[in-house]
């Protein structure tokens, strides 16, 4: 089965916030490990999550990894995004109907308290020294 990724951003009136999810999707796709990668948004920006999922599937993905481009776990990552996917609370995998076919969707965790993020913070501090 071929994989694909949907990077989900919050959505914002501020263009640079939208650009973050789009750039992350682009960087993941350039690495070539996960198949086609698209960005989508919870609100305010296009495409929305269902359209983004459809775009990944139309590019050949049969298993789609939905990864929230969020730093912390919160209501959006635990309830809102899974709800749009049609998942029950706590569900992380399941079949979703896209363009008349069942697609396996696997919902990933946000960045959270990953120790690698401290390295980025250290780089930002050093840049100001």
- The catalytic residues are 10
Cα–Cα dist 70/112, whole Å: 8
DSSP 49-109: HHHHHHHHHHTT-SEEEEEE--SS--HIIIIIHHHHHTPPTT--EEEEEETTEEEEEEEPP
CB 81 within 8 A of CB 7: no
Nearest alpha-carbon partner for 50 in 19, 81, 75 = 81
């Amino acid at each position: 089965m071929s994989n694909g990724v949907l990077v989900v951003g919050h959505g914002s009136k501020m263009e640079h916030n939208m650009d973050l999810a789009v750039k992350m999707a682009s960087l993941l796709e350039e690495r070539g490990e996960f198949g086609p990668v698209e960005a989508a948004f919870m609100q305010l920006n296009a495409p929305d999550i269902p359209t983004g999922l459809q775009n990944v599937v139309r590019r050949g993905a049969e298993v789609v990894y939905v990864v929230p481009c969020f730093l912390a776990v919160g209501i959006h990552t635990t309830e809102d995004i899974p709800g749009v996917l049609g998942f029950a609370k706590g569900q992380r995998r399941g079949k979703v109907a896209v363009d008349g076919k069942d697609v396996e969707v696997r919902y990933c965790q946000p960045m959270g308290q990953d120790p690698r993020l401290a390295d980025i913070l250290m780089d930002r501090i050093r840049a100001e020294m």
